[in-house]
Structure 1
Amino acid sequence: MITGDAAYIKKINRSVIMKEILKAGMISRADLSKVTALTRATISAQAADLLDKGLIVETQLEHHLVGRKPTMISINAKAGYALGIDLEFGRITFMLTDLLGRRVSSKIIPIETTGYAEILALLIDHIANYKKDYTDSRYGIVGIVIAVHGLVSTDEMIHYIPRLKWKQANLKQDLEQALGIDIHLENNANLSAFAERVFIHHETDNLLCATLYSGIGMGMILNNKFFRGHNGFAGEIGHMIVVPGGKPCGCGNQGCWEKYASETSIFETLSAKKQIPNVTYEQIGQWINEGDTEVHEIMEQFIYYLSIGLNNMINIYNPDVVVLESNLLRIYPDSFQKIKKNLNSQISHYRDLFISSLEEKSSIMGACALAIRDFLDVPILNLPYKD
């Protein structure tokens, strides 16, 4: 026998057990043995260890049948906290959750700078405060994940954040050196896709999530794992060319998808048409409700170009589920039906298309969920969603 086999098997068994407890919410030892195909002795030994570590709790169910009251086990949500951070242009959002992904606190910090040093100092200050303030649980803050709206390499180096103009920034290293704790960075679209899988689409192995807010990013969960590509830069689907020789893009090409089908492009078009700076969702909703012909035409073009890109995505990846992150789609009547009507290729196959119910919280919820998954060391994480 190779040294370490027993420890490795124990770790694998624990991972399987934790996955099933999370999936069920609350489950008996007997049922755990059935769904995991592990012996009752293995389940009892693992449960005793997890109880000792404070990671699960026992509850006796009240019932009126004859016999012993069943003892159920569940995750101890109060054993620690996950900290998610969404680093955006103009603001940083912090969210703290328990180990079941339920929000404990959240706050938004406006920022008026794009300077790396200033934002780094701000992050250090707030993370240090969270670390100090949330020590009332056994494990404190179990993980910190930052959602980055840009290119993040496989070694978690920031390659480029367009709106902040950051290039080759080692934010992970700088934060870890200052704070003495592990920090993880991940692309925001990947985290949005992860949140959709963890909180909503539990039976999905292959999921694509297109975020349409500041540009277009695509998070990909394939076989229940992130698909990042060679260097970690996969998913920059917004720079797929849909109009050859079209509008110039900051990436250097012309006719990129995000110049026609991102919310930013629609806001820019409407601001120019209406001669109003900083158009809001509320204004667009009002124009739509008033039957403004010009606005309806722009929205129809948005749907048209969005459908072209979605058709390409579906044909390339053949996903179970496609999720769209867009407030404009939520406020434009029948947008969902219009998109589905446009996806009528005989060779285009997917199971379901959804407009996200997580809205703009998805990336930070995904950040918290990733911290929980890594701490509990489970291959697949299913958590209940409560707004």
Structure 2
Amino acid sequence: MITGDASYIKRINRSIILREIVKEGLISRADLSKVTALTRATISAQVADLIDEGLVIETQLEHYTVGRKPIMLSINSEAGCALGIDLDFDHISFTVSDLTGSPINSKRIETNTTDYGEILNLLVEQIKVFKSEYAYSRYGIVGIVIAIHGLVGKDETIHYVPRLRWNNITLKNDIERQIDINVYIENNANLSAFAERVYVHHETDNLLSATLYSGIGLGMMMNNEFFRGHDGFAGEIGHMIVVPNGIQCNCGNKGCWERYASERAIFKYLSETKQMNSVTYENIQKWLDEGDEEVHQLMEQFIFYLSIGLNNMINMYNPDMLVLDSELLRMYPNSLDKIRGNLNSSISHYRALQISSIGRNSAVLGACALAIKHFLEVPMLNLNYDTEANKKNASVNI
């Protein structure tokens, strides 16, 4: 039998209650008691504390036709804010969300340096701006989560960022020394997977999310927890070899998956063959619309090699949900059907394969959601993804 003191049991009950309030959006005390199996007395005492702390508010339903209007409970979305940061090679994206995970402010800063000291100063300066801007709320910025496009250890040390050439960086400690806010460091693919689970796929416990932009990263949610591996480096699936003695990769091997099935590989190839310094999605869409045979064949090859790696992933992890984050797949007609047609092994089993509805914002939204999870101390969140709200809060260059 598991036992604990009164304060421990109270924390557990609080976590259960907050999880259900977040999940339902609006819920009465009576329904909370039913879904949590906690006594009404326990619910009343805990809710009273949460209201005193400003985390929960009461709302009376106006349109209720039978009997007395129930008092509904919801998270006080304005009690504090979460700050998610996506630290990429040439830019940094910042998103501030309320406590229900809805974005309320976004900024994008172009970076023309890979120098750690310069980028650290830039981060600290911008965080201080946000901290001051949202100091009016009761809890201010409740936490900061930074998405890293590289290897992050279980101790949150940044071991290696290929495109920035960073090794063994203690970004978390360096920021916390200057700003009194909890900072968490996480791999960007893990945060994308977390966003997919939290905002979209509420009913799955086992989810894989592959991001295909600058390389190929794999975020893995297993039983609602990150699957990290021994040191925390699991998910570097882009360096799985799919073509023996193939194209040289920066990792030192040849024939790595991301050299054939990442968007970066497609853009690099088209820049060379079309003799253009910068190829855009708009260029590719135009060529596809015009029936450019070379581009169509390239996209078919992209899907072919993508399918090889996906087949391996499915066989290794047997996921419930597999999410692909790629703008090119969204653009190319019937891309999912083509991929499914290639996954015809009798031993490859998965329940669903989808293209991400969140897209490039997944890592930064996952960062916001993880900061909220830490602050509320709940085992998992179920939040709503509002497409229109996210469009209104699109990043701006500063």
User: Shared fold by TM > 0.5?
Assistant: yes
- Show the 5 A alignment for 1:19-98: 19-63=19-63, 65-98=65-98
User: Which secondary structure state, in structure 1, belongs to the residue aligned with residue 146 of structure 2?
Assistant: strand
Q: Deviations over 1:243-290 (max 9, x none)?
A: 111111111111100000000111111111111122111101111111
Rounded Cα–Cα distance in structure 1 between residues aligned with 2:159 and 2:353: 31
**Ranges in structure 2 where 5+ consecutive residues have no aligned partner:** 388-398
Give deviations 1:329-355, integer Å, cap 9, x for gaps: 111111111011111111111111110
Q: Distance in 1 between matches of 2:262 and 2:302?
A: 8
The residue that corresponds to 1:178 in the other structure is 178
Residues 12-52 of structure 1 show CA distances to partners (whole Å, capped at 9, x for unaligned) of: 11111111111111011111111111111111111111111
Match of 2:223 in 1: 223
Aligned partner of 1:14 in structure 2 is 14
1:210 aligns with 2:210: yes
Residue 131 of structure 1, CA deviation: 1.0
Counterpart contact for 2:142–2:182, Cα < 8 Å: no
1:62, distance to aligned residue in structure 2 (A):
2.1
Are the equivalent residues in 1 in contact too, given 2:142–2:181 (CA < 8 A)? Answer: no
Structure 1: which 4+ aligned runs deviate by more than 3 Å?
A: 1-4, 63-66
Q: Which residue of 1 aligns with 2:330?
A: 330
Equivalent residue letter for 1:207: L
- Give deviations 1:311-364, integer Å, cap 9, x for gaps: 110111111100001011111111111011111111111111110010100000
Query: Partners in 1 of 2:36 and 2:162 — Cα distance?
Result: 46
Correspondence for 1:374: 374
TM-superposed deviation, 1:63? 3.7
Q: Aligned residue for 1:308?
A: 308
Match of 2:132 in 1: 132
TM-score by length of 1: 0.98
Are residues 177 and 239 of structure 1, via their aligned partners in 2, closer, same or farther at CA, if it must alter by over 3 Å? same
Residue 264 of structure 2: aligned partner:
264
- 1:2 is displaced (CA, Å) by 11
Partner of 2:356: 356
Q: Give the drift of 1:64.
A: 5.0
> Corresponding residue for 2:321?
321
- Cα distance in 2 for residues equivalent to 1:272 and 1:3: 65
Cα distance between partner residues in 1 of 2:317 and 2:98: 34
| Pair 66,159 (structure 1): closer, same or farther in 2 beyond 3 Å | closer
- Which deviates more, 1-10 or 302-311? 1-10
% identical equivalent positions: 67
Q: What is the CA-CA distance between 1:181 and the residue it aligns to?
A: 2.5
Aligned-partner SS, 1:113: coil
Secondary structure of the residue aligned to 2:174 is helix
Q: How far apart, CA to CA, are the structure 2 residues paired with 1:2 and 1:247?
A: 55
Aligned residues of 2:141 and 2:181 also touching (Cα < 8 A) = no
**CA apart distance, 1:199:** 0.3
Q: Distance in 1 between matches of 2:63 and 2:237?
A: 54
Amino acid of the structure 2 residue aligned with 1:72: M
Following superposition, the deviation at residue 65 of structure 1 comes to: 3.5
| Local SS of the residue matching 1:178 | coil
> Which runs of structure 2 are paired with 1:157-172 in the superposition (5 Å)?
157-172=157-172
1:121 corresponds to 2:121? yes
Q: 1:95 and 1:254 mapped to 2: Cα distance?
A: 37
Q: Decide whether aligned partners of structure 1 residues 205 and 3 sit closer, same or farther in structure 2, where only a CA change above 3 A counts.
A: closer
* Matched length: 387
CA distance in 1 between counterparts of 2:65 and 2:167 reads 65
Residues 29 and 43 in structure 2, CA contact (< 8 A), matched pair in contact too:
yes
- Cα distance in 1 for partners of 2:17, 2:7 equals 15
Amino acid across the alignment from 2:355: I
Looking at structure 2, the residues matched to 300 and 363 of structure 1 have their Cα atoms a distance apart, in angstroms, of 27
Q: Counterparts of 1:289 and 1:64 in 2: how far apart (Å)?
A: 52
Q: Equivalent residue for 2:191?
A: 191
CA contact (8 A) 2:54 2:79 kept: yes
* Cα deviations by residue, 1:160-179 (Å, 9 ceiling, x for unpaired): 11111111111111111122
Alpha-carbon distance, 1:3 to partner: 9.8
**Distance in 1 of aligned mates of 2:330 and 2:46:** 46
Task: After TM superposition, give the deviation of residue 66 of structure 1 in Å.
Answer: 4.8
DSSP 3-state at the match of 1:92: strand
**Partners of 2:242 and 2:160 in 1: CA distance:** 23
CA distance in 2, matches of 1:243, 1:317: 21
Whole-angstrom CA distance in 1 between matches of 2:118 and 2:67:
64
Q: Distance in 2 between matches of 1:119 and 1:223?
A: 35
Distance in 1 of aligned mates of 2:204 and 2:162: 32
CA distance in 1, matches of 2:34, 2:235: 39
- Structure 1 window deviating more from structure 2 (73-82 vs 128-137): it is 128-137
Q: 1:330 to 1:17 in 2, by over 3 A?
A: same
- What is the rounded CA distance, in whole Å, between the counterparts of 1:107 and 1:22 in structure 2? 26
The code of the aligned residue for 1:110 comes to E
Q: Is the 8 A contact 2:28 2:73 kept in 1?
A: yes
**One-letter code of the match for 1:5?**
D
